[in-house]
């Protein structure tokens, strides 16, 4: 099969289009013909080598964490999917590889594609939608009437987070540029802060939750808007001891990862705020719940651009530029 292969780690390293063996499907896996893939900053970070301590993949490898496609075969133990099913998924860590014509996905990571979405729209969702679900529903347990600040509301995670938070009944503030203010308002944002000309940390106060996807300076400033007992959840780091423990790596690495968040955890403690780092996990059951919200019109994907498979490296470069609104998608079927 054709696939884009990372031959070696390197900043901005181009992926090579080449031939890879067809996936071997285990008893609990589903073989999917990939129709479209969503691109994520995580792909670029792995390519650049930034996640080697956490996700120690060995090149050559195929990247890709989001996909939509059609089931072409199932393992002996699979009963809930059949050939011909339209599906979408975020394959679990260690089993990624969506930048290819076919992929074997554990059945527990897979869900039926929302019926009202195209393959390209569905491929834009799994990683960001799972991230948002696990941050707002599981971790924050966001409730009606609470106030949440979502940074980068026009980005891939932000566009979904604004919609889900509004559905949960929260008062939603978000940071974005003035050019994207109308977009985030259309998604449900109640308060829009232009990060170029306004300081969110002086404008906002008494918030219950902050979802951070930006840099360390923004993370620390977010403490100022939270009330005592509030929750600061970061998907951009630094890792905390709970995450380090969950990784199950060697004690030295766990110590190093824990130390990385020492400063922000101490400052959060002094402010009476809970800090935690979230690294999302694959979960097909949650994707099924998200599909229901999509089919009932609660959430809609925001797709900035769709590139053909031949231009996957150009699509990666566009993601790296940080200019995308919502998600960037690559179609293996020329948009059909």
* Domains of the chain (ranges, CATH numbers): 2-125+301-331 (3.90.180.10), 128-277 (3.40.50.720)
> Cα–Cα distance between 154 and 175 in angstroms, integer?
8
Strand 86-89 vs strand 110-112: parallel, antiparallel, or unpaired? antiparallel
pLDDT tens sequence across 203-247: 999 999 999 999 999 999 999 999 999 999 999 989 888 887 787
Q: Are 91 and 280 in contact (CB under 8 A)?
A: no
> Cα–Cα distance between 324 and 213 in angstroms, integer?
15
- Give the per-residue pLDDT at 54: 82
- Give the per-residue pLDDT at 336: 39
pLDDT in tens, the chain (336 residues): 999 999 999 999 999 999 999 999 999 999 999 999 999 999 999 999 988 888 889 999 999 999 999 999 999 999 999 999 999 999 999 999 999 999 999 999 999 999 999 999 999 999 999 999 999 999 999 999 999 999 999 999 999 999 999 999 999 999 999 999 999 999 999 999 999 999 999 999 999 999 999 999 999 999 999 999 999 999 998 988 888 778 776 787 778 878 889 999 999 999 999 999 999 999 999 999 999 999 999 999 999 999 999 999 999 999 999 889 999 999 999 643
- Give the per-residue pLDDT at 77: 97
Whether a cis peptide bond, with omega within 30° of 0, leads into 60 is: yes
> Cα–Cα distance between 18 and 13 in angstroms, integer?
15
Of the candidates 52, 111, 104, the residue with the CA atom closest to the CA atom of residue 87: 111
> Cα–Cα distance between 209 and 222 in angstroms, integer?
10
> Cα–Cα distance between 195 and 187 in angstroms, integer?
18
- Give the per-residue pLDDT at 129: 98
């Amino acid at each position: 099969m054709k696939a884009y292969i990372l031959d070696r780690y390197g900043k901005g390293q181009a992926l090579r289009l080449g031939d890879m063996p067809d996936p071997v499907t285990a008893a609990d896996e589903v073989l999917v013909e990939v129709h479209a893939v969503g691109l994520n900053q995580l792909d670029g970070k792995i390519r650049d080598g930034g996640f080697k301590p956490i996700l120690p993949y060995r090149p050559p490898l195929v990247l890709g964490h989001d996909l939509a496609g059609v089931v072409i075969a199932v393992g002996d133990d699979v009963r809930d999917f059949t050939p011909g099913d339209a599906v979408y998924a975020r394959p679990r860590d260690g089993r990624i590889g969506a930048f290819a014509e076919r992929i074997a996905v554990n059945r527990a990571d897979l869900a039926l594609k929302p019926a009202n979405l195209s393959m390209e729209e569905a491929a834009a969702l799994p990683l960001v939608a799972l991230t948002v679900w696990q941050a707002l529903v599981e971790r924050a347990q966001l409730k009606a009437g609470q106030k949440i600040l979502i940074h980068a509301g026009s980005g891939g995670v932000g566009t979904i987070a604004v919609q889900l938070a509004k559905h949960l009944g929260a008062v939603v503030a978000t940071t974005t540029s003035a050019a994207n203010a109308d977009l985030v308002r259309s998604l449900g944002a109640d308060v829009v802060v232009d990060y170029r000309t306004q300081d969110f940390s002086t404008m906002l106060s008494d918030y219950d939750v902050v979802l951070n996807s930006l840099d360390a300076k923004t993370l620390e400033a977010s403490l100022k808007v939270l009330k005592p007992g509030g929750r600061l959840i970061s998907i951009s780091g630094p890792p905390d001891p709970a995450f380090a423990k969950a990784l199950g790596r060697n004690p030295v690495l766990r110590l190093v990862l824990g130390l990385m968040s020492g400063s922000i955890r101490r400052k959060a403690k002094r402010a009476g705020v809970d800090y935690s780092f979230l690294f999302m996990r694959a979960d097909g059951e949650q994707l099924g719940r998200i599909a229901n919200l999509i089919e009932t019109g609660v959430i809609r994907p925001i797709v900035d651009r769709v590139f053909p498979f031949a231009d996957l490296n150009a699509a990666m470069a566009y993601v790296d530029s940080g200019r995308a609104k919502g998600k960037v998608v690559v179609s293996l079927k020329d948009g059909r």
